[in-house]
Chain A
Amino acid sequence: MIHTNNTTISSPPVKKLGVIRWMRINLFRNTFDSIVTISVVLFLLWIVPAVFSWMFFDAVGFNGDEALCRTTDGACWPFMREKARLILFGTYPYEQQWRAALACLVVIGLVATLIFKRMKVKWMILLWAASAAVFVALMLGNVFGLPVVQTVKWNGLPVFLLLSVFSLAAAFPLGILLALARHQDDYQLLKNLAAGYIELIRGIPLLMVLFMGLFVLPMVMPRGFFLEPLFAILIALMLFHAAYFAEDIRGGLQTLELGQAEAADSLGLSYWPKVLLIVLPQALKQSLPAIFNTLIGGYKDTSLVIIVGIHDIISTAKMAYSDPGWQRYGLEAYFFVGIWYFCSCWCLSAYGRHLEKERAK
């Protein structure tokens, strides 16, 4: 017999947990959980008041009087009011700093455009080249009646963006080539060279590669050819990141079924159409998580350039607090830089997660 109309489907009973019961399950389930809960609570009781009193309660506000800073243990935010511009643009001539700001906006706009708008590779390359040209023109000057600013005066955010964004962008195609060279069997010499290069670079610290860029690269240049340190470092960073990209992409190439390449061969495609149309699109999709790891890691590690004397934002932050009278406020300066890093890295990884979700569809 089938009931049709006189039954109502009732929803399952809502489980109601009392506070005590909820705590028993979620905080004190066993000894280990209890220890964890107690230590976490103790840690929070220590750190939260300390951070809040430093940032707010004991701090001198952004518009406050800097003379008050000396009387308190908290943060000195007037420091940021005075020094924000120095941290952003460093020793770039003061009345020309709008150019540096505009150059930064060009790079940020470029990255945003690439994130939000899908376009053909051809247009991407064109956009990269145009942005690079505009960036250099703005920063260096000597065109459109802009006065020349030598690269030694380039500091802060523009330098950081130049080194991180452009080195990673240039490293990517190089990484693809290295991965392809290592992932083939027709040319053993090429394969061994690529493998040797990748393993060599991955075996030494980034700092060593930067030192090589600074000291050895100019020596390799022909006599009388002067290589600007900034561009030597840019090349070193690019060569470094390329090796890491290559390994990520090779991982993707290895997951690809052999049948894909064989099918392309039997369709009569020659090497480059096969690679560009069949192999790479699939391999790149596979290696997306690894690529984003390298991307974010490389972006963060650009900060190491300060050790070899290039002034990115951490370095200008140092400049800001080495000023006599402001020497106690290093933490405030680093806090400011930290916010920039945190936000930009967070955006990058959010974009990576979004791409992965799209891939899974």
Chain B
Amino acid sequence: MNLLANKEKRSFIIQLILAAILFSAAYLIVQNIRDNLADVGIRLSFGFLSGEAGFDVNESLISYSASDSYARVLLVGFLNTLELSFVCILGSTIIGVVMGIVRAGSNWLGTRLALAYVEVLRNLPKLLILLAVFIVMINRLPTVRHAWNFFNGIFISNRAFYYPKLIWHDGMVFVLAGILVWFIAAVLWGRYVKRIQDLTGKQLPTKWPVLGVLFLTVLLISVLFHVSYQFSLPVFKGFDFTGGSRLSVQFVALAFTLSIYHGGQITELVRGGIQSVQKGQIEAAASLGLKPSQVTRFVVLPQALRMIIPPMGNQYLNLIKNTSIALAIGYSDLVSVMSTSINQTFRPIELMSITMMTYLAISLLVTALLNWFNYRTKIVTN
């Protein structure tokens, strides 16, 4: 009685009981898993990862064949997830920002179309959109034999999209190094320009000199090291195209669907951010004599971004997780290869823990980046 009357002691006792319950539950679960696995004759182990996977993937960034190991096929899936996420983040951001600006703008037609876009996508599941897009692509795009041809190097068919590939030349190492040096120099120049402006108010040119130097750097190095830029063009031979690069129709359908789906949500974020900037700010900037483009760039955007970036980070996290719907149309992403591997090896616990850890690591990384960015754009007050 006395023990329970004291808050700290009560808290301690209750937590002790809780810990005991949890411990026994965990013990029971482990015991059950062991029993159930013993019934099928399996023991937990990660040894199977070096075994031969024996199944093919429809797209891979690194060389892979069916005789490679499970570890490698998981890596292939992971890289595919990253590639897809990257393309979708880029696409949805571009769509979302453009549509958001239109939605918050003054164009009568534009605001209405953007509203319709947001509403339609908000009320439909992404999986349904994906399946509909995929089936339209499969049914309405031409077969490989009759692929549509654009600019004599881009082919579109219902199997894949083909495009020219730059052939690697050893001199390109120097070009890349030159671009890196240029980038560092440009950042330094930007800082210098800002300092001069802060000290004297004089604005030094940034855009044209920086771009001009880039052009000259690339040109000079190319001439010096005899770098040749040659493209391998896709050519139809027999039953398929050879040469060039390709994106499977699954990838294109996924990238399109997730870009427009999350683009719709980013549209609303951008609109909210822009409309949260007080009208007085814009009027004050205009009365100081700033041009409309300068008002947007120096007054509206910096304030809107502070509102937009935190929820945007959440969007990106959701997007990365949503790439897992790739399984529905058979694109080999991480979850998809995991699922196939589970069906072949019946090692759900090992494979799922690997996949879960991967997703958690990505989540943590994006969250850390986001916090860093928030810290950078925080309002500095004294």
Of B19, B102, B124, B126, which one neighbours A338 at CB under 8 angstroms? B124
Of B325, B338, B363, which one neighbours A203 at CB under 8 angstroms? B363
Contacts of B11 in A (CB 8 A): 186-187
Given that A33-B106, A216-B348 are contacting pairs, would A207 and B127 also be in contact in the complex, using a CB cutoff of 8 Å?
Answer: no
Contacts of B292 in A (CB 8 A): 30
Contact yes or no, B360 A200, CB < 8 A:
yes
Contact yes or no, B128 A27, CB < 8 A:
no
> Which of B35-43, B155-163, B213-221 is found at the contact surface with chain A?
B35-43
A159 shortest CB reach to chain B, Å: 15
A320 shortest CB reach to chain B, Å: 13
Tell me the complex Cα distance, A304–B18, Å.
35
Contact yes or no, A216 B352, CB < 8 A:
yes
Contact yes or no, B108 A223, CB < 8 A:
no
User: How many A-B contacts at CB < 8 Å in the complex?
Assistant: 156
Tell me the complex Cα distance, A206–B327, Å.
13
- Tell me if B321 is interfacial: C-beta within 8 Å of chain A: yes
Contacts of B102 in A (CB 8 A): 36
Contact yes or no, B327 A203, CB < 8 A:
no
CB-defined interface of A324-361 with B at 8 Å, one 1/0 digit per residue? 00001011001101100110011001000000000000
Tell me the complex Cα distance, A334–B136, Å.
11
- Tell me if B204 is interfacial: C-beta within 8 Å of chain A: no
- Tell me if A276 is interfacial: C-beta within 8 Å of chain B: no
Tell me the complex Cα distance, A345–B128, Å.
14
Contact yes or no, B139 A328, CB < 8 A:
yes
CB-defined interface of B17-32 with A at 8 Å, one 1/0 digit per residue? 0110010000001001
- Tell me if B211 is interfacial: C-beta within 8 Å of chain A: no
Contact yes or no, A306 B127, CB < 8 A:
yes
**Chain A residue with the shortest CB-CB distance to B112:** A40
Q: Identify whether the interface residues of B are mostly helix, strand, loop, or mixed.
A: helix
Contact yes or no, B33 A189, CB < 8 A:
no
Q: Identify whether the interface residues of A are mostly helix, strand, loop, or mixed.
A: helix
Contact yes or no, B107 A300, CB < 8 A:
no
Contact yes or no, B29 A338, CB < 8 A:
no
Given that A215-B342, A331-B135, A341-B128 are contacting pairs, would A27 and B32 also be in contact in the complex, using a CB cutoff of 8 Å?
Answer: no
A220 shortest CB reach to chain B, Å: 5
Size category of the binding interface on chain B: 35 or more
**Chain A residue with the shortest CB-CB distance to B367:** A203
- Tell me if A140 is interfacial: C-beta within 8 Å of chain B: no
- Tell me if B69 is interfacial: C-beta within 8 Å of chain A: no
Contact yes or no, A334 B131, CB < 8 A:
yes
Of B110, B131, B352, which one neighbours A212 at CB under 8 angstroms? B352
Interface centre among A44, A200, A301, A303 (most CB of B within 10 A): A303
Tell me the complex Cα distance, A193–B37, Å.
27
Of A202, A223, A314, A345, which one neighbours B122 at CB under 8 angstroms? A345
Contact yes or no, A307 B325, CB < 8 A:
yes
Contact yes or no, B110 A37, CB < 8 A:
yes
**Chain A residue with the shortest CB-CB distance to B98:** A36
Q: Which of A24-44 contact B (CB under 8 A)?
A: 25-27, 29-30, 32-33, 36-37, 40-41, 43-44
Tell me the complex Cα distance, A152–B125, Å.
24
Of A26, A30, A208, A223, which one neighbours B36 at CB under 8 angstroms? A223
- Tell me if B3 is interfacial: C-beta within 8 Å of chain A: no
Tell me the complex Cα distance, A188–B14, Å.
11
Tell me the complex Cα distance, A306–B349, Å.
22
- Tell me if A166 is interfacial: C-beta within 8 Å of chain B: no
Given that A27-B107, A205-B321, A221-B32 are contacting pairs, would A188 and B15 also be in contact in the complex, using a CB cutoff of 8 Å?
Answer: yes
Tell me the complex Cα distance, A202–B32, Å.
26
**Chain B residue with the shortest CB-CB distance to A301:** B125
Contact yes or no, B128 A314, CB < 8 A:
yes
Contacts of A215 in B (CB 8 A): 342, 348-349, 352
Contact yes or no, A208 B125, CB < 8 A:
no
Contacts of B39 in A (CB 8 A): 223
- Tell me if A128 is interfacial: C-beta within 8 Å of chain B: no
Tell me the complex Cα distance, A40–B98, Å.
13
Given that A208-B335, A219-B37, A221-B32 are contacting pairs, would A341 and B363 also be in contact in the complex, using a CB cutoff of 8 Å?
Answer: no
A-B CB proximity, top 4 nearest:
A215-B348, A26-B108, A345-B123, A300-B125
Q: Besides A216-B352, A221-B36, A341-B128, 17 other CB < 8 A contacts? A: A27-B109, A36-B110, A189-B19, A190-B18, A202-B363, A203-B360, A211-B339, A211-B348, A215-B348, A218-B36, A300-B125, A303-B128, A307-B127, A307-B328, A314-B127, A342-B120, A345-B124
Could you show 12 A-B contacts with beta carbons less than 8 Å apart? A189-B18, A190-B15, A204-B356, A205-B321, A207-B327, A216-B349, A219-B37, A220-B33, A223-B32, A334-B131, A335-B132, A338-B128
The chain B residues found within 8 Å of chain A, CB to CB, are 7, 11, 14-15, 18-19, 22, 29, 32-33, 35-37, 39, 102, 105-110, 113, 120, 122-128, 131-132, 135-136, 139, 292, 321-322, 324-325, 327-328, 335, 338-339, 342, 348-349, 352, 355-356, 359-360, 363-364
The chain A residues found within 8 Å of chain B, CB to CB, are 25-27, 29-30, 32-33, 36-37, 40-41, 43-44, 186-190, 193, 200, 202-208, 211-212, 215-216, 218-223, 296, 300-301, 303-304, 306-307, 314, 318, 328, 330-331, 334-335, 337-338, 341-342, 345-346, 349
